[in-house]
Amino acid sequence: NAGVMQNPRHLVRRRGQEARLRCSPMKGHSHVYWYRQLPEEGLKFMVYLQKENIIDESGMPKERFSAEFPKEGPSILRIQQVVRGDSAAYFCASSPNYQETQYFGPGTRLLVL
Amino acid sequence: GQQLNQSPQSMFIQEGEDVSMNCTSSSIFNTWLWYKQDPGEGPVLLIALYKAGELTSNGRLTAQFGITRKDSFLNISASIPSDVGIYFCAGQQGGAQKLVFGQGTRLTINP
Protein backbone atom coordinates (compact mmCIF):
# COMPACT_ATOMS: atom_id res chain seq x y z
CA ASN A 1 0.00 0.00 0.00
CA ALA A 2 1.70 3.15 -1.22
CA GLY A 3 1.99 5.98 1.27
CA VAL A 4 0.85 9.55 0.87
CA MET A 5 2.39 11.02 -2.26
CA GLN A 6 3.20 14.66 -2.82
CA ASN A 7 4.55 16.40 -5.86
CA PRO A 8 6.58 18.18 -6.69
CA ARG A 9 9.05 17.54 -3.87
CA HIS A 10 10.74 20.86 -4.56
CA LEU A 11 9.23 23.93 -6.22
CA VAL A 12 10.90 27.24 -7.00
CA ARG A 13 8.76 30.25 -7.87
CA ARG A 14 9.43 33.94 -8.37
CA ARG A 15 7.41 36.49 -6.43
CA GLY A 16 4.00 36.97 -7.99
CA GLN A 17 3.80 33.55 -9.61
CA GLU A 18 1.37 30.79 -8.68
CA ALA A 19 2.31 27.60 -6.84
CA ARG A 20 0.29 24.38 -7.12
CA LEU A 21 1.04 21.59 -4.70
CA ARG A 22 -0.47 18.14 -5.19
CA CYS A 23 -1.28 15.42 -2.68
CA SER A 24 -2.48 11.89 -3.40
CA PRO A 25 -3.75 10.29 -0.19
CA MET A 26 -3.17 6.70 0.75
CA LYS A 27 -5.47 4.23 -0.98
CA GLY A 28 -8.82 4.13 0.76
CA HIS A 29 -8.29 7.44 2.57
CA SER A 30 -10.88 10.14 1.96
CA HIS A 31 -9.71 12.72 4.50
CA VAL A 32 -6.84 15.07 3.65
CA TYR A 33 -5.04 17.65 5.76
CA TRP A 34 -2.50 20.31 4.81
CA TYR A 35 0.16 21.65 7.18
CA ARG A 36 2.93 24.22 6.75
CA GLN A 37 6.34 24.06 8.39
CA LEU A 38 8.66 27.05 8.57
CA PRO A 39 12.39 26.38 9.17
CA GLU A 40 13.18 25.25 12.71
CA GLU A 41 9.49 25.19 13.66
CA GLY A 42 6.73 22.66 14.16
CA LEU A 43 3.98 22.02 11.66
CA LYS A 44 1.00 24.39 11.59
CA PHE A 45 -2.43 23.21 10.48
CA MET A 46 -3.88 24.88 7.40
CA VAL A 47 -6.95 23.04 6.11
CA TYR A 48 -8.89 19.77 6.41
CA LEU A 49 -10.84 18.40 3.45
CA GLN A 50 -13.03 15.42 2.81
CA LYS A 51 -13.86 14.50 -0.76
CA GLU A 52 -15.21 17.64 -2.45
CA ASN A 53 -15.77 19.42 0.88
CA ILE A 54 -13.72 21.79 3.01
CA ILE A 55 -14.36 20.79 6.62
CA ASP A 56 -12.02 23.11 8.54
CA GLU A 57 -10.01 25.96 7.00
CA SER A 58 -9.26 27.76 10.24
CA GLY A 59 -5.51 27.73 9.55
CA MET A 60 -5.64 29.03 6.00
CA PRO A 61 -4.51 32.58 5.30
CA LYS A 62 -7.49 34.62 4.21
CA GLU A 63 -6.01 35.67 0.89
CA ARG A 64 -4.09 33.97 -1.92
CA PHE A 65 -4.42 30.43 -0.51
CA SER A 66 -7.02 27.88 -1.57
CA ALA A 67 -7.42 24.13 -1.37
CA GLU A 68 -9.56 21.54 -3.08
CA PHE A 69 -10.03 17.78 -3.02
CA PRO A 70 -12.08 16.83 -6.09
CA LYS A 71 -14.06 13.64 -6.49
CA GLU A 72 -11.38 12.33 -8.82
CA GLY A 73 -7.71 13.15 -8.59
CA PRO A 74 -5.36 14.55 -5.98
CA SER A 75 -5.91 17.31 -3.48
CA ILE A 76 -4.45 20.63 -4.60
CA LEU A 77 -3.10 23.45 -2.44
CA ARG A 78 -2.89 26.59 -4.54
CA ILE A 79 -0.98 29.72 -3.62
CA GLN A 80 -1.52 32.72 -5.83
CA GLN A 81 0.91 35.63 -6.20
CA VAL A 82 3.51 34.03 -3.97
CA VAL A 83 5.67 36.14 -1.65
CA ARG A 84 8.97 35.31 0.01
CA GLY A 85 7.18 34.57 3.29
CA ASP A 86 5.42 31.65 1.62
CA SER A 87 8.74 29.78 1.45
CA ALA A 88 8.23 26.72 3.64
CA ALA A 89 7.69 22.97 3.58
CA TYR A 90 4.08 22.03 2.94
CA PHE A 91 2.94 18.63 4.18
CA CYS A 92 -0.15 16.69 3.33
CA ALA A 93 -1.58 13.98 5.57
CA SER A 94 -4.45 11.57 5.04
CA SER A 95 -6.66 9.36 7.18
CA PRO A 96 -9.25 6.74 6.29
CA ASN A 97 -12.00 8.15 8.46
CA TYR A 98 -12.83 10.84 10.97
CA GLN A 99 -10.67 10.74 14.09
CA GLU A 100 -8.24 8.17 12.77
CA THR A 101 -4.47 8.37 12.55
CA GLN A 102 -3.06 10.89 10.08
CA TYR A 103 -0.23 9.64 7.85
CA PHE A 104 2.08 12.26 6.38
CA GLY A 105 3.60 12.58 2.95
CA PRO A 106 7.22 13.61 2.29
CA GLY A 107 6.31 17.26 1.76
CA THR A 108 6.82 19.89 -0.92
CA ARG A 109 9.55 22.43 -0.26
CA LEU A 110 8.57 25.76 -1.79
CA LEU A 111 11.21 28.41 -2.34
CA VAL A 112 10.10 31.86 -3.45
CA LEU A 113 12.83 33.96 -5.01
CA GLY B 1 -3.14 30.09 18.04
CA GLN B 2 -2.86 27.10 20.36
CA GLN B 3 0.68 25.83 20.76
CA LEU B 4 2.35 23.02 22.62
CA ASN B 5 5.50 23.78 24.58
CA GLN B 6 8.07 21.11 23.91
CA SER B 7 11.37 20.75 25.73
CA PRO B 8 14.23 20.52 25.46
CA GLN B 9 14.71 22.18 22.06
CA SER B 10 17.83 20.14 21.42
CA MET B 11 19.76 17.29 23.00
CA PHE B 12 23.32 16.10 22.47
CA ILE B 13 23.92 12.65 23.94
CA GLN B 14 26.25 9.68 23.74
CA GLU B 15 25.15 6.51 22.03
CA GLY B 16 23.58 4.17 24.56
CA GLU B 17 22.18 6.90 26.79
CA ASP B 18 18.50 7.23 27.61
CA VAL B 19 16.55 10.25 26.37
CA SER B 20 13.56 12.05 27.83
CA MET B 21 11.52 14.88 26.33
CA ASN B 22 8.16 16.37 27.22
CA CYS B 23 5.34 18.49 25.98
CA THR B 24 3.01 20.74 27.97
CA SER B 25 -0.05 22.81 27.25
CA SER B 26 -2.22 25.32 29.07
CA SER B 27 -5.35 23.53 27.84
CA ILE B 28 -6.65 19.99 27.70
CA PHE B 29 -5.97 17.61 24.82
CA ASN B 30 -7.88 14.40 24.16
CA THR B 31 -5.17 12.74 22.10
CA TRP B 32 -1.39 12.98 22.29
CA LEU B 33 0.89 11.80 19.49
CA TRP B 34 4.64 11.58 19.06
CA TYR B 35 6.23 11.86 15.60
CA LYS B 36 9.81 11.67 14.31
CA GLN B 37 10.97 13.66 11.31
CA ASP B 38 14.14 12.89 9.38
CA PRO B 39 15.75 15.59 7.18
CA GLY B 40 13.81 16.16 3.98
CA GLU B 41 10.99 13.85 5.00
CA GLY B 42 7.55 14.04 6.56
CA PRO B 43 6.74 13.16 10.17
CA VAL B 44 6.36 9.48 10.96
CA LEU B 45 4.06 8.42 13.80
CA LEU B 46 5.85 6.72 16.70
CA ILE B 47 3.23 6.44 19.44
CA ALA B 48 -0.40 7.48 19.87
CA LEU B 49 -2.04 8.01 23.28
CA TYR B 50 -5.81 8.24 23.74
CA LYS B 51 -6.52 8.06 27.49
CA ALA B 52 -5.32 10.12 30.45
CA GLY B 53 -2.68 8.19 32.37
CA GLU B 54 -2.04 5.82 29.48
CA LEU B 55 1.52 4.49 29.21
CA THR B 56 2.44 2.96 25.85
CA SER B 57 5.63 1.40 24.53
CA ASN B 58 6.92 0.82 21.03
CA GLY B 59 10.23 -1.04 21.22
CA ARG B 60 12.71 1.23 22.98
CA LEU B 61 10.22 4.11 23.03
CA THR B 62 7.79 4.77 25.88
CA ALA B 63 5.28 7.60 26.05
CA GLN B 64 2.72 8.66 28.63
CA PHE B 65 -0.47 10.73 28.46
CA GLY B 66 -0.45 12.99 31.52
CA ILE B 67 -3.22 12.55 34.06
CA THR B 68 -4.20 16.22 33.78
CA ARG B 69 -4.51 15.84 29.96
CA LYS B 70 -2.17 18.82 29.63
CA ASP B 71 1.14 17.06 29.14
CA SER B 72 2.93 14.06 27.70
CA PHE B 73 6.45 12.70 27.73
CA LEU B 74 8.52 10.46 25.47
CA ASN B 75 11.44 8.34 26.62
CA ILE B 76 13.93 6.58 24.39
CA SER B 77 16.09 3.94 26.04
CA ALA B 78 19.59 2.90 24.95
CA SER B 79 19.82 5.36 22.07
CA ILE B 80 21.33 4.27 18.75
CA PRO B 81 22.57 6.35 15.79
CA SER B 82 19.34 5.94 13.81
CA ASP B 83 17.44 7.72 16.60
CA VAL B 84 18.92 11.01 15.33
CA GLY B 85 16.24 13.37 14.08
CA ILE B 86 13.60 15.80 15.23
CA TYR B 87 10.86 14.57 17.55
CA PHE B 88 7.51 16.35 17.64
CA CYS B 89 4.63 16.03 20.03
CA ALA B 90 1.17 16.73 18.64
CA GLY B 91 -2.28 16.86 20.17
CA GLN B 92 -5.92 16.95 19.24
CA GLN B 93 -8.61 18.80 21.19
CA GLY B 94 -12.28 17.96 21.46
CA GLY B 95 -13.75 16.78 18.19
CA ALA B 96 -11.28 18.72 16.08
CA GLN B 97 -9.30 16.77 13.53
CA LYS B 98 -6.42 19.21 13.23
CA LEU B 99 -3.17 18.40 14.97
CA VAL B 100 -1.43 21.03 17.08
CA PHE B 101 2.34 20.50 17.08
CA GLY B 102 5.14 21.35 19.48
CA GLN B 103 8.27 23.11 18.27
CA GLY B 104 10.28 19.89 18.18
CA THR B 105 13.27 18.37 19.99
CA ARG B 106 16.37 17.90 17.84
CA LEU B 107 18.30 14.82 18.94
CA THR B 108 21.98 14.45 18.10
CA ILE B 109 23.92 11.34 19.09
CA ASN B 110 27.69 11.15 19.43
CA PRO B 111 28.94 7.65 18.61
Question: What are the pLDDT digits (tens) for B51-108?
Answer: 999 999 999 999 999 999 999 999 999 999 999 999 999 999 877 789 999 999 999 9
Q: How far is CA B42 from the centre of its chain?
A: 15
Based on C-alpha coordinates, what's the Rg of chain B?
13
pLDDT for position A1: 53
Provide the residue-wise pLDDT of chain A in tens; the chain has 113 residues. 579 999 999 999 999 999 999 999 999 999 999 999 998 888 999 999 998 899 999 999 999 999 999 999 999 999 999 999 999 999 999 999 877 889 999 999 999 99
Say if A4 is an interface residue toward chain B (CB within 8 Å): yes
**Three-class secondary structure assignment of chain B:** CCCCEEECCEEEEECCCCEEEEEECCCCCCEEEEEEECCCCCCEEEEEECCCCCEEEECCEEEEECCCCCEEEEEECCCCHHHCEEEEEEEECCCCCCCEECCCEEEEEEC
Which residues are CB-contacts of A62 (< 8 A; sequence separation ≥ 6)? none
Q: Nearest CB to B103: which of A41, A55, A98?
A: A41
pLDDT for position A2: 75
pLDDT for position A110: 98
pLDDT for position A40: 83
CA distance B4 to B66: 14
- Mutate one of A69, A102, A110 to test the B interface: name it (highest B CB count within 10 A): A102
pLDDT for position A41: 87
Q: pLDDT tens, B37-60?
A: 999 999 999 999 999 999 999 999
pLDDT for position A51: 87
Q: Strands A108-112 and A10-13: what pairing?
A: parallel
CA distance B42 to chain A (A): 4
Are B43 and A104 a contacting pair at CB < 8 A?
yes
pLDDT for position B95: 75
**Phi and psi of B25, rounded to 5°?**
-145, 155
CA distance B97 to B100: 10
